[in-house]
Amino acid sequence: GQNIDQPTEMTATEGAIVQINCTYQTSGFNGLFWYQQHAGEAPTFLSYNVLDGLEEKGRFSSFLSRSKGYSYLLLKELQMKDSASYLCASTDSNYQLIWGAGTKLIIKP
Partner 1 sequence: IAGITQAPTSQILAAGRRMTLRCTQDMRHNAMYWYRQDLGLGLRLIHYSNTAGTTGKGEVPDGYSVSRANTDDFPLTLASAVPSQTSVYFCASSVTSGGVGEQFFGPGTRLTVL
Interface residues with partner 1 (CB under 8 A)? 8, 28, 30-31, 41-45, 48, 50, 87, 89-91, 94-102
Q: In this structure, what are the phi and psi dihedrals at residue 82, rounded to the nearest 5 degrees?
A: -80, -5
Q: Measured from the CB atom, is 79 or 93 closer to partner 1?
A: 93
For residue 80, the SS3 value is: helix
Q: To the nearest whole angstrom, how small is the minimum distance from the Cβ of residue 15 to partner 1?
A: 29
Cα 102 to Cα 86: distance, rounded to the nearest angstrom? 5
- CB of residue 77 to partner 1, shortest distance in Å: 24
Cα–Cα distance measured from residue 39 to residue 107, given in angstroms and rounded to the nearest whole number: 14
Instruction: Name which of 26 and 78 has its Cβ closer to partner 1.
Output: 26
Q: Which is nearer to partner 1, 43 or 69 (CB)?
A: 43
User: Nearest approach, Cβ of 28 to partner 1 (angstroms)?
Assistant: 7
User: How near is the Cβ of 55 to partner 1 at its closest, in Å?
Assistant: 14
Residues 91 and 86: their CA atoms lie apart, in Å, by 17
Nearer Cβ to partner 1 (70/99): 99
Buried b / exposed e over 66-82, threshold 16 CB at 10 Å, is eeebebbbebeebeeeb
